[in-house]
Amino acid sequence: MALSIGSKKIKTAVFISGRGSNLKSLIKFSKQKKSPIVIELILSNNVKSRGLKFSKLFNIKKKIFNFKNKKIAEKKILNELEKRNIKLICLAGFMKILSKSFIKKFNGKILNIHPSLLPKYRGLNTHKRAILNKDRYSGCTVHYVNHKLDSGKIVIQKKVKILKKDTPKSLANRILIQEHKLYPKAISKVFNP
């Protein structure tokens, strides 16, 4: 008898805080035959995240956790992930920093996408900082998550040229187009090296 689609795929949770455009690109990727992952859960710290709409659109379970008490939130999240046998977390615009103990306890891989060529410009306002520094290139990076902000081992990067007329917004838009391609590529690289 044929196995149900996705039965052997890596169960993945995507963590978001806002718009969710990377989430959307990951969902689309996960539906391709060649994708090593299946997205089982969308998780957010923010009930107002626009990206939560993709839960209904694509029929994926969503969960919202209040991070006012981070310890409690992380404990509940770990339970949820364990219950669903989640083996990959993709952070996609998730604005909370996961604790060292959460990262240690999670029985799987955690990836993040960041809009700069790490190790340059960890943290926020990456595009503005790259333009102010008169860099010729910026880009995006997918990396493993460790306990230091935007500092884990790099999986893959994509360079994007900074144009003279660029504003942080125009640069962000061009980089975002690349992010949507890079995250799926990184996942393929991690699971089918």
Checking phi first, is residue 93 left (phi over 0); if not, alpha (psi -120 to 50) or beta?
Answer: left
Q: Closest by alpha carbon to 103, among 136, 128, 70, 63?
A: 70
Give the phi and the psi of residue 161 in degrees, each rounded to 5: -70, 140
Minimum distance from residue 94 beta carbon to ligand GRF (Å): 7
Minimum distance from residue 54 beta carbon to ligand GRF (Å): 11
Q: Which stretch binds ligand GRF (CB under 6 A): 65-73, 96-104, 109-117, 156-164?
A: 109-117
Q: Which stretch binds ligand GRF (CB under 6 A): 28-36, 54-62, 79-87, 108-116?
A: 108-116
For the chain, what's the residue count? 193
| Distances 159 to 140, 144, 150, 188 between C-alpha atoms, Å | 7, 19, 17, 19
Q: Is 186 in the site for ligand GRF (CB under 6 A)?
A: no
Which of 41, 115, 143, 160 contacts ligand GRF by CB under 6 A? 115
Q: Closest by alpha carbon to 112, among 150, 80, 139, 147?
A: 150
Q: Is 152 in the site for ligand GRF (CB under 6 A)?
A: no
Q: Is 176 in the site for ligand GRF (CB under 6 A)?
A: yes
- Active-site positions read 114
Q: Which residues bind to ligand GRF, rule: CB under 6 A? A: 16, 18-22, 51, 92-93, 113-115, 176, 179
